[in-house]
Amino acid sequence: MAKQIIIDHVFKVFGDDPRTALELVQQGLSKQEILERTGQSIGVFDADFTIEAGEIFVVMGLSGSGKSTLVRMLNRLIEPTAGRIVVDGQDINALSERDLRALRRKDISMVFQSFALMPHMTVLDNTAFGLELAGADKAERQKQAQAALEQVGLGAWGASYPDELSGGMQQRVGLARALASDPSILLMDEAFSALDPIIRTEMQSELLRLQQIQRRTIVFISHDLDEAMRIGDRIAIMKDGQVIQVGTPDEILRSPADDYVRSFVRGVDAASVFKAGDIARQALTVVSEHSDRGCRAAQRLLEDSDRDYAYVVNARRRFLGVVSSQSLRDALHGRPGMLGLSHAFLPNVEPLSAGTPVAELFGPVAAAPCALPVTNDDGQFMGVVSRTTMLRFLDRDTPPVPPPQEIVPPVTLNPHFPASNAPTVAPTVAPTVAPTVEPIEQRQGDAA
């Protein structure tokens, strides 16, 4: 992705002597030491990161961490003290007042926590207000405002007044007003924080829906980690004016940068963040190349490897089914000849989609006779999720996602077994398509 916003070693000092504060920064003094010595408060301390075009980038932290100050510098509502902020290749610190106003009206819109609707104006006129300030004629601005209201589901409310709307609907009007000018960048400062939990969740879903229709660069300020994990493509965590860590939700959960981030994310609902593909583990996997044989070789393989289950794939690693020691014995009973593995597949074992949230796995995994297979969008086998895997995921003393392990390729069964002293397993391994997930554990004894 292209880098749409570059924050290059940016500082913001509040006080009448910012130069002295910056000199002390160069000497290595902390924010607190500078405040005690000079009375100057550093709101943002050496922020240095990029925001990519089309992503939802969440800036989060506790009250006073500097997140709102940082975002307000992106459109120069607050002037940076030092550093560069580059938007679409332009250093906004170098823009004239006229060019800055044009940037704010056309390219960057902002949604605040307070709805800030004009009580004497209709919903349509409130939505068109920014376009009116920009000098658009009435017919054009009403057309664009109506289109924006349609996007947020309020197309029929244009003639109403703000006091006739619920809090959630009023915030939708605020969002529509920001969208009316069709900006490429949307700044949202605690936009949903004043809403009750149910409406807040609805607005998060609405934002994600709008992002699917037309991808914009959205910089979203929040103090709610679950909200950040749900909507953010990447997250920046701030403390005392400093950006402590930038990463995707799963990167931050897997590898917190320090104890502060670790304590910050401790209460997050990891089951809503991680997916089945993230926690899938290794299982005994065999390749079936012949539809009319394989049961006897698979039975011997399970006996020799002391396993109860084997997961059957084709040469392209597409999942076919699951066999067990018992299902193989039952299928072979009274049948002396060759028999295909499909005759021994366990019934009612449906694979899990790799993108299914862990929160939705507990019921299916608990009810399954074995660890459930996980497949990607192409049907390729990625591993299994067992009851033990789920218990380990819930254990606060262990990482939610296990460390990487060596990938064990599937075993090709000998199609001629049990002919004269033929080995159970072919000496070569069938070609496979490498899975794009965490390597997974080899033992399957915990499947039950």
322 band by pLDDT with thresholds 50, 70 and 90: very high
Model pLDDT, residue 421: 45
Model confidence pLDDT, tens digit, residues 260-281: 988 888 777 778 788 898 889 8
3.40.50.300, 3.40.720.10, 3.30.930.10, 3.40.33.10: which CATH number matches 51-271? 3.40.50.300
Model confidence pLDDT, tens digit, residues 308-318: 999 999 888 89
Model pLDDT, residue 73: 94
Model pLDDT, residue 434: 37
CATH 3.10.580.10 domain position(s) in the chain:
276-412
Model pLDDT, residue 352: 95
400 band by pLDDT with thresholds 50, 70 and 90: low
Model confidence pLDDT, tens digit, residues 71-81: 999 999 999 99
CATH 3.40.50.300 domain position(s) in the chain:
51-271
- Interval 340-346 mean pLDDT: 92
Answer for the pair 386, 447: CB distance below 8 angstroms, yes or no.
yes
Greater confidence (349 vs 290) lies with 349
In this structure, what are the phi and psi dihedrals at residue 91, rounded to the nearest 5 degrees? -80, 105
Model pLDDT, residue 56: 95
| DSSP secondary structure, 301-362, as one string | HHHHHT-SEEEEE-TT-BEEEEEEHHHHHHHHTT--S--BGGGGPPTT-PPEETTSBGGGTH
- Does the domain made of 276-412 have the CATH classification 3.40.50.1980? no
- Interval 229-236 mean pLDDT: 92
pLDDT higher than 60, residue 405? no
Task: Tell me the pTM.
Answer: 0.71
**Mean of per-residue pLDDT scores for the chain:** 84
151 band by pLDDT with thresholds 50, 70 and 90: confident
- Interval 151-176 mean pLDDT: 86
pLDDT higher than 90, residue 129? no
Task: Output the six-digit token pair for 133.
Answer: 């300030």
Residue type, 207: L
Model confidence pLDDT, tens digit, residues 369-382: 999 999 999 999 99
